[in-house]
A and B are shown apart, each in its own frame.
Chain A
Amino acid sequence: MAEWLSMGGRGAYVWSAFGITALVLIVNWIWLRHQISDAKVKSKRLANTKERT
Chain B
Amino acid sequence: MFKWIHKFGSPPFVYALSKAISPWVGIASLILFAWGLYMGLVKAPPDYEQGEVYRIIFVHVPAAWMSMFVYTVMAISSAVFIIWRLKLADVVAEASAAIGASFTFLALVTGSIWGRPTWGTWWEWDARLTFELILLFQYLAYIALRSAIEHKQSGARAAAILAVVGIVNIPIIHFSVEWFNSLHQPATITRADGPKMHPSMLIPLFIMVAAFQLYYFHHLLVKMRVGILNRDRRARWVRERIETKGL
B109/A47 in contact, CB under 8 A: no
A21 touches which of B99, B106, B233 (Cβ 8 Å):
B106
Beta-carbon contact of B247 and A14 below 8 Å = no
Q: Are B239 and A47 in contact (CB under 8 A)?
A: yes
Given known A-B contacts A13-B113, A13-B114, A17-B114, A28 and B99 have beta carbons under 8 A apart:
yes
The residues of A that contact B109 with a CB separation of less than 8 Å are 17, 20
For A43, what are the chain B residues with a Cβ–Cβ distance below 8 Å? 229, 233, 238, 242, 247
Q: List the B side residues contacting A29 at CB < 8 Å.
A: 219
Contact with A along B230-247 (1 / 0, CB 8 A): 100110001100110001
B106 touching A20 by the CB < 8 A rule?
yes
> Is A16 on the interface with B (CB-CB < 8 A)?
yes
Q: Which of A20-51 contact B (CB under 8 A)?
A: 20-21, 24-25, 28-29, 32, 35-36, 39-40, 42-44, 46-47, 50
A26 to B223, CA, bound (A): 15
Say which residue of B63, B102, B247 sits within 8 Å of A40 (CB atoms).
B247
> Which chain B residues numbered 40 to 69 have a C-beta less than 8 Å away from chain A?
41-42, 46, 51-53, 55-56, 59-60, 63
Q: Is the CB of B63 within 8 A of A21?
A: yes
Q: Which residue of A lies closest to B37 (CB)?
A: A18
Known pairs A24-B105, A36-B222, A44-B247; A7 contacts B53 (CB<8 A): yes
Interface: B110 (CB within 8 A) = yes
- B: residues with CB less than 8 A from A are 37, 41-42, 46, 51-53, 55-56, 59-60, 63, 98-99, 102, 105-106, 109-110, 113-114, 116-117, 215, 219, 222-223, 225-226, 229-230, 233-234, 238-239, 242-243, 247
Please name 13 pairs of A and B residues whose Cβ atoms are closer than 8 Å in the assembled complex, sorted by A.
A7-B53, A8-B46, A10-B53, A13-B53, A17-B110, A20-B113, A21-B59, A25-B102, A28-B99, A28-B219, A35-B226, A40-B229, A47-B243
